Amino acid sequence: MVLYLIGLGLYDEQDISLRGLAAVRGCARVYLEAYTSILLVDKDRLEALYGKPVVVADREMVENEADAILAGADAVDVAFLVVGDPFGATTHTDLQLRARAAGVPVTVIHNASVMNAVGACGLQLYRFGEAVSICFFTDTWRPDSFYDKLSANRAAGLHTLCLLDIKVKEPNLEQLARGRTVYEPPRYMSINTALEQLLEVEAARGGGVCGPGALAVGLARLGAPDQRIVAGPIAELRRVDFGPPLHCLIIAGDVHVVEEEILQHYRAGSGEEAAGAAAGGGGAAAASEGAAGGAAPAGRPAAAAGGAMAERGPRARSFSQRVSCKPRARPHPGGGPAQLLRRELRMVRISVLNDALKTMYNAEKRGKRQVLIRPASKVVVKFLQLMMKHGYIGEFEFVDDHRAGKIVVELNGRLNKCGVISPRYDISHHDVEAWVARLLPSRQFGIIVLTTSSGIMDHDEARRKGVGGKVLGFFY
């Protein structure tokens, strides 16, 4: 018959797939692996859903008594349930090899695991390097081999997922030496413990990989309704109470501007990290959970990428925005036919291109390597293409957010100034020389951008083609 390796997902009995549930209900024996990870509900709830008993398979059974699990699998179907995905641990690969060697067919039914669910924090999965495991330190054993992988990932600009130790049904070594088998109570490493150990290793190794100022992300109970995600320097995360297990940790590498924008919602002390589950797809987090350090100061801006792409809140203003007043009738709070005329302030965006160029100019002045521009437009894209053509910026990428869109621009340090000309003056190709003298430092330095009947182009191309148009802006 068949050995089924079935992933259960991350939270409770409902996370199993429909295909996995059908397979379990058709099996003669069901085992639940319970030492590489744990489900956040009792076994009784699994048995109630499956309609059959579930045998808990601890480390000793899986590693030393695998033959008992496979016994009779050539005659009946057997299910081996794994929290997360079946191949999240090498032990399960070993079980598959044993089954195939015994001539038992193996069917794998996958599910979500911590390896992909960590994307809930906003860090992009393809920017992760090799994952590491962090074990509990003891008085005589303080392993730090994971530091080399952390260092290699950091040198490559990659994020590192740290899987934290779980001690389930571990024998007491002192009692074992006396010939008695006594098991220790279960222990689950917290993010706080992992950070303390990381700082200890960093102090000993001194590589500057995971010091107090390094950016990290703590994730607790991924997939659960009360999951929690908090981002910030290691020194701040040490003071955060992440609550019950299971926990995992990410040491961030080079953060893309889009990743930084999402991480702002989970910053320690921002007041928003308690709602981490909503962004991660696990439901709303408990509103009563606060981050260490208290609430953020009133009026504190939610800036991203060092301020180069700050969120525009309802009170934000720029040179390209004006306040207009629009009268709107509102019912009198007391009811009845009487109406009050109320004037309401509304922000109006005058020039998308002007906002884009100012954002780039400010980011360049601050020495940023990337900048996020939004919203996007065809005019902005064409303007950026001309800037890239002449070498004033690096490549740029359009990000479709199913709204107005946004653009990530690579800066190369060559942009000294850029701006929009408003109003857009009509000029002929004979007037180009005069505008070059007016806007640019010299004839050989900088570009004026025109919109013409032949499209958007730079002033040199307009002069060659003998066409005029409207002045959009300039850069040098």
DSSP string across 301-340: ----GGGTT----TT---TTEEEEEEEEEEE-TT-SS-EE
pLDDT score recorded for residue 179:
75
pLDDT score recorded for residue 318:
37
Pick 141 or 20 by higher pLDDT: 20
pLDDT score recorded for residue 316:
38
Share of the chain above pLDDT 90, in %: 49
Quick: pLDDT tens for 317-366: 333 333 334 444 444 444 444 444 444 444 455 688 999 999 999 988 88
Rounded to an integer, what distance in angstroms lies between the CA atom of residue 472 and that of residue 383? 9
The tokens describing 256, both together, are 């893309």
Contact 306, 367 (CB under 8 A): no
Rounded to an integer, what distance in angstroms lies between the CA atom of residue 77 and that of residue 359? 62
Rounded to an integer, what distance in angstroms lies between the CA atom of residue 44 and that of residue 42? 5
Quick: pLDDT tens for 426-457: 888 888 888 888 888 888 889 999 999 889 99
Q: Quick count: other Cβ atoms within 10 Å of Cβ 467?
A: 16
The interaxial angle of helices 43-50 and 18-25, nearest 10 deg, is 80
pLDDT score recorded for residue 215:
95
Element (H, E) at 456: strand 455-458
Rounded to an integer, what distance in angstroms lies between the CA atom of residue 222 and that of residue 150? 23
Instruction: Check pLDDT > 50 for residue 295.
Output: no
pLDDT score recorded for residue 220:
95
Which one, of 36, 22, 37, 40, lies nearest residue 283 by Cα? 40
Identify any residues that bridge with 251 across adjacent strands, giving them in sequence order.
160, 216
Q: What average pLDDT does the chain have?
A: 81
Provide the pLDDT confidence category of residue 174 given band limits of 50, 70 and 90.
confident
Provide the pLDDT confidence category of residue 272 given band limits of 50, 70 and 90.
low
Question: Mean per-residue pLDDT for 134-163?
Answer: 93
Contact 264, 128 (CB under 8 A): no
Tell me the CB-side half-sphere exposure of residue 145, using CA atoms within 13 A. Answer: 4
pLDDT score recorded for residue 422:
83
Identify any residues that bridge with 209 across adjacent strands, giving them in sequence order.
none
Residue 211, C-beta contacts closer than 8 angstroms, at least 6 positions apart = 199, 202, 234
pLDDT score recorded for residue 16:
95
